[in-house]
């Protein structure tokens, strides 16, 4: 920037003429009327110096001017009328790419061996825990300890009408699940991601294994041990259902899926309380799992074929 003003800031001397100042043993600098900078010393005559030789400090009262932006140079968001133009298409493609990256979720698919092994191990652990609690409370009750006898209070007392209760439970769970898949996006996303991660590598006959092993073992633990330990009533069904739902937060599932699992656990618990037959929630849970697995496979196959 050229010095076009008559004032100079930050110098020890200033004159209004081109005559050299008196040499009184001091070094100094001055600004002429034309705006050129000069310097003098006690040992040499005055001379003009390049402006780059001086550091000009702006005074505190000078306000920096805001950088002017020409509206014509401002980036423009492509409109519908611009579609078809090369620049507009490039911009739209970039926006689409960002949108795809933000919406896509990476799902790690487990192998068939990993799924079946995890299913066997988890089901075995739950079944063992359920049997231990049922048998332990039975021995404790026989020893006159103040504890609910889970073995006696929740038995396998099959009656013909229990088939209707089992079928009704399956229809209720399967129907509500399909409704929520189409009306509750958070639940649908978590459910489909979980199914894709677990079921993608399995063969159709494997669905029987991953449906009935968890169905039987989970009911043996939650409705065969936890529920009667609390009480064979609505409170026992609610506590067992709540714990059942909380444990379904694992594996990348969200709160929506856990809420659904809590509700399902409550329904299985009420079926067990109503019939006092542990086989009812066991069969209902296993069949509901199988229906959900096959429905997912059919929907997934249709989606892949439509591409």
Shared domain for 143 and 291, answered yes or no, is yes
Residue 5 shares a structural domain with residue 123: no
The larger pLDDT score, comparing residue 88 to residue 178, is at 178
- On whether the CB atoms of residues 223 and 278 are closer than 8 A, the answer is yes
- What is the mean predicted confidence (pLDDT) over 38-44? 46
For residue 88, tell me if it sits in a domain: no
Q: Quick: pLDDT tens for 101-118.
A: 334 456 688 999 999 999
What percentage of the chain carries pLDDT values higher than 90?
62
Which pLDDT value is given to residue 73?
52
Out of 19-23, 214-218, 237-241, least confident range: 19-23
Q: Which of 9, 33, 63 is at the close of a domain?
A: 63
> Do 123 and 271 fall within a single domain?
yes
Does some domain include residue 80?
no
Question: Starting at the edge strand that comes first in sequence, how are the strands of the sheet with 47-48 ordered?
Answer: 28-31, 37-40, 47-48
C-alpha Rg value of the chain to the nearest Å: 40
Is residue 240 within 8 A of residue 222, CB to CB? The reply is yes
In the predicted structure, residue 258 carries a pLDDT above the cut 70: yes
Whether residue 215 contacts residue 289, with contact meaning beta carbons closer than 8 Å, is answered with yes
Residue with the bigger pLDDT between 15 and 50: it is 50
**Same domain, yes or no, for 245 and 177?**
yes
Q: Is there a domain that residue 91 lies in?
A: no
Among 21-25, 116-120, 243-247, 256-260, the least confident range = 21-25
| Domain stops at, among 45, 63, 81 | 63
**Does residue 71 belong to any structural domain of this protein?**
no
**37 shares its domain with 120:** no
Please indicate, yes or no, whether residues 46 and 190 belong to a single structural domain of this protein. Answer: no
- In-domain check, residue 97: no
Which pLDDT band, with edges at 50, 70 and 90, does 164 fall under? very high
Write down the pLDDT at residue 100.
41
Tell me the C-alpha distance between 199 and 197, whole Å.
6
| pLDDT, greater one: 47 or 119 | 119
Q: Are residues 144 and 267 in the same domain?
A: yes
Domain count along the chain: 2
Task: Name beta bridge partners: 85.
Answer: 83
What's 40's DSSP letter?
E
At 136 the pLDDT is: 98
79-88, 180-189, 288-297: range with lowest mean pLDDT: 79-88
Alpha-carbon separation of residue 41 from 50, 65, 86, 179, 293 (angstroms): 16, 37, 66, 94, 96
Cα angle 243, 244, 249; round to 5: 95
Q: Tell me whether residue 93 is in a domain.
A: no
Same domain, 142 and 287: yes
More confident residue, 33 or 244: 244
For residues 295 and 207, membership in a common domain is answered with: yes
Locate 15 and state its tokens: 């004159």
Instruction: Examine the domain organization and report whether 131 and 54 are in the same domain.
Output: no
Q: Is residue 99 one of the residues assigned to a domain?
A: no
Q: What is the mean pLDDT of the chain?
A: 79
Residues β-bridged to residue 83: 85
Q: Are residues 205 and 118 in the same domain?
A: yes
pLDDT at position 69: 53
Position 167 in a domain: yes
Question: Structural domain of residue 283, as residue ranges?
Answer: 109-305
Whether pLDDT at 95 is above 50 = no
Do 45 and 179 belong to one domain?
no
Closest CA to 155 of 76, 96, 224, 108: 224
Of 63, 95, 117, the one marking the end of a domain is: 63
- Judge whether residue 171 has pLDDT over 70: yes
How many angstroms separate the first and last alpha carbons of the chain? 64
CA distances from 125 to 118, 119, 237 (A): 11, 10, 22
Please report, for residues 10, 109, 111, 126, 257, the alpha-carbon distance to residue 118 in angstroms, rounded to integers and kept in the order given.
79, 14, 11, 12, 20
- Confidence check: pLDDT of 94 > 50: no
- pLDDT score of 71: 52
Q: What value does the mean pLDDT take over residues 19-34? A: 47
CA distance 271 to 302: 34
pTM of the model as a whole: 0.67
């Amino acid at each position: 920037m050229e010095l076009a003003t008559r004032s100079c800031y930050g110098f020890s001397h200033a004159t209004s003429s081109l005559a050299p100042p008196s040499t009184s043993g001091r070094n100094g600098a001055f600004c002429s009327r034309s705006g050129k900078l000069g310097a003098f010393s006690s040992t040499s005559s005055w001379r003009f110096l390049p402006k780059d030789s001086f550091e000009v400090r702006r005074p505190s009262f000078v306000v920096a001017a805001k950088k002017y932006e020409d509206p014509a140079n401002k980036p423009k968001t492509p409109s519908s009328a611009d579609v078809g133009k090369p620049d507009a298409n490039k911009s739209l493609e970039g926006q689409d790419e960002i949108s795809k990256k933000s919406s896509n979720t990476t799902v790690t698919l487990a192998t068939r061996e990993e799924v079946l092994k995890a299913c066997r191990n988890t089901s075995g652990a739950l079944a063992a825990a359920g049997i231990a609690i049922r048998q332990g409370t039975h021995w404790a009750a026989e020893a006159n300890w103040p504890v609910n006898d889970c073995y006696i209070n929740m038995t396998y007392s099959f009656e013909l009408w229990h088939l209707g209760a089992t079928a009704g439970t399956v229809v209720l769970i399967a129907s509500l699940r399909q409704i929520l898949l189409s009306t509750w996006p958070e639940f649908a996303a978590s459910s489909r991601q979980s199914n894709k991660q677990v079921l993608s590598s399995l063969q159709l006959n494997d669905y029987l294994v991953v449906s009935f092993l968890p169905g039987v073992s989970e009911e043996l633990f939650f409705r065969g041990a936890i529920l009667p330990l609390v009480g064979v009533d609505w409170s026992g069904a609610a506590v067992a259902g709540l714990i059942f739902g909380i444990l379904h937060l694992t594996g990348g599932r969200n709160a929506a899926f856990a809420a659904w699992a809590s509700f399902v656990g409550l329904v299985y618990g009420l079926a067990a309380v109503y019939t006092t037959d542990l086989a009812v929630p066991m069969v209902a849970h296993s069949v509901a799992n199988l229906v959900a697995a096959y429905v997912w496979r059919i929907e997934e196959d249709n989606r892949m074929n439509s591409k």
